[in-house]
């Protein structure tokens, strides 16, 4: 492939932008090489500045569940853009999207929109502290809840990709009240709750992790967390920034049949435009200003363009539940066939898949937490990443990120992906 334009653009970007990127994982640091600069997208495909075409398994890290440039979403955004980009005042669009979210997610009684997943998780944690009068937050190693100071303790995603053990600029005092535990370990949670009796405000987690690869919860684990939170008056927060409206109409909560007290959203509820939200029980949400004294604000919260894109995207998903059945089928098929290929090729591997989220780990042991995810052979992943890229398959440039499938993905796309896996040699 010709990549001269991307190389030129990256060299220029590094003169003006730290590392040449505006989000660390884009820099290709874990996999090596020069990041590709994209120019357009359509359906299941993205096209770089040199004109190369790729099957896209990032899908803007999840929100393009319908595929890129979906006609109904494009038309709605164009129509709204002609009216206004932003007001800084209330709009009916915010209420319409909030009502739709409540319709799709059974336990959401009130919603507050923000502008990113980081804001959503940060605000939900603050709200839990304000509601309970407690200060400690439990999170899990390898789970990423954005870059707010309190969460940058053994976080996944970009920190894991860049092997950053201690985030610079974050005072230790800020994370003193953050308790980080291994995922899928019930005993660790029981001990933490006992040792911090009446001091834990919330337990926050990705119900199905996507920031250390795809790592589903162990059987019964979410039910255990639900019970221990209820028994100890702890607010259970599900970070569904990735899984919300992706794993099912009602997100991971509906698919796994466990319901949190607060839920954070992002990505898909903006149809690919910057957005975030948190919602849940009315008695908790009523503590947010202006109803209560837990302060949260944002000039561009509820931005009309994002509300329009999100409402149109969720309306398509709400009206066509068969999309989830198809995504599940494609995810299972891809995981099964990849496993068959790598088994036949005697390449050590573990493939985790849940719905339209999937990841491959080049190791022999099951991947159920951050420690086992980190045990994968990164040298093999680097070779695999660049091999797939050379064959027109764009994967996340990190072994610690899940792949995302979209509805626009065709059978031919799946077969091309599998053919590229077949021709890969780990040697």
Q: Is 185 a catalytic residue?
A: no
**C-alpha angle 276/314/278, rounded to 5°?**
25
Produce one character per residue of 282-321: b if its CB has 16 or more CB atoms within 10 Å, e if not: eebbebbeeeeebebeeebbbbbbbbbbbbbbbbbbeeee
- 55's CB contacts (< 8 A; 6+ apart) are 44, 45, 392, 393, 394, 409, 413, 416, 417
Q: Pairing mode, if any, of strands 53-56 and 393-394?
A: parallel
As beta bridge partners, residue 278 has 112, 264
Q: Are 44 and 58 in contact (CB under 8 A)?
A: no
H/E element holding 284? helix 282-285
Give the count of beta carbons closer than 10 Å to the beta carbon of residue 135: 13
Q: Is 267 a catalytic residue?
A: yes
Token reading at 289 = 């200003």
Distant-in-sequence contacts of 12-20, Cβ < 8 A, 24+ apart? none
Phi, psi dihedrals of residue 22, rounded to the nearest 5°: -110, 10
Strand order in the sheet with 178-181: 110-114, 276-280, 262-266, 235-239, 200-205, 136-140, 178-181
DSSP code, position 270? G
The catalytic residue among 144, 221, 324, 394 is: 144
The catalytic residue among 239, 261, 407, 413 is: 239
Q: Is 239 a catalytic residue?
A: yes
Phi, psi dihedrals of residue 348, rounded to the nearest 5°: -55, 135
Token reading at 309 = 């894109």
The catalytic residue among 29, 139, 154, 267 is: 267
Token reading at 23 = 């989000």
> What distance lies between CA 277 and its chain's CA centroid?
13
Q: Are 148 and 109 in contact (CB under 8 A)?
A: no
Token reading at 100 = 């739709």
Q: Are 34 and 28 in contact (CB under 8 A)?
A: yes
Q: What whole-number distance in Å separates Cα of residue 78 and Cα of residue 80?
A: 5
Question: Where in the sequence numbering do the catalytic residues fall?
Answer: 144, 239, 267
């Amino acid at each position: 492939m010709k990549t001269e334009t991307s190389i030129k653009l990256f060299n220029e970007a590094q003169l003006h932008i730290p590392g040449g990127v505006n989000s660390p994982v884009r820099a290709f640091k874990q996999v090596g090489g020069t990041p590709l600069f994209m120019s357009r997208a359509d359906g299941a495909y993205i096209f770089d500045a040199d004109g190369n075409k790729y099957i896209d398994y990032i899908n803007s890290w999840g929100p393009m569940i319908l595929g890129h440039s979906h006609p109904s979403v494009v038309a709605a955004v164009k129509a709204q853009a002609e009216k206004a980009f932003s007001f800084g005042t209330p709009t009916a669009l915010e209420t319409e999207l909030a009502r739709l979210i409540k319709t799709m997610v059974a336990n959401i009684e009130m919603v507050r929109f923000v502008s990113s997943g980081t804001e959503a998780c940060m605000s939900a944690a603050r709200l839990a502290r304000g509601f309970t009068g407690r200060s400690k937050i439990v999170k899990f190693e390898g789970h990423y809840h954005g870059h707010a100071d309190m969460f940058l303790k053994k976080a996944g995603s970009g920190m894991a990709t860049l092997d950053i053990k201690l985030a610079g600029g974050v005072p230790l005092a800020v994370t003193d009240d953050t308790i980080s535990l291994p995922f899928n370990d019930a005993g660790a949670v029981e001990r933490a709750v006992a040792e911090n009796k009446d001091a834990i405000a919330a337990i926050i987690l990705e119900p199905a992790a996507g920031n250390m690869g795809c790592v589903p919860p162990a059987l019964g684990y979410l039910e255990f967390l639900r019970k221990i939170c209820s028994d100890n008056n702890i607010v259970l927060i599900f970070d569904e920034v990735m899984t919300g409206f992706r794993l099912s109409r009602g997100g991971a909560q509906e698919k796994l049949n466990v319901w949190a007290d607060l839920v954070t959203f992002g990505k898909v509820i903006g149809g690919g435009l910057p957005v975030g939200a948190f919602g849940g029980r009315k008695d908790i949400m009523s503590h947010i200003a202006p109803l209560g004294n837990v302060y949260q604000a944002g000039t561009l919260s509820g931005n009309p363009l994002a509300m329009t894109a999100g409402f149109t995207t969720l309306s398509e998903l709400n009206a066509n539940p068969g999309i989830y059945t198809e995504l599940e089928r494609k995810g299972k098929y891809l995981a099964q066939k990849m496993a068959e290929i790598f088994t036949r090729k005697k390449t050590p591997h573990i493939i985790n898949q849940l719905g339209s989220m999937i990841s491959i780990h080049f190791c022999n042991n099951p991947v159920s937490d951050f420690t086992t995810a980190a045990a994968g052979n990164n040298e093999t992943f680097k070779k695999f990443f660049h091999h797939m890229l050379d064959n027109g398959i764009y994967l996340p440039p990190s072994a610690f990120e899940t792949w995302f499938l979209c509805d626009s993905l065709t059978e031919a796309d799946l077969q091309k992906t599998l053919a590229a896996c077949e021709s890969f040699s780990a040697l």
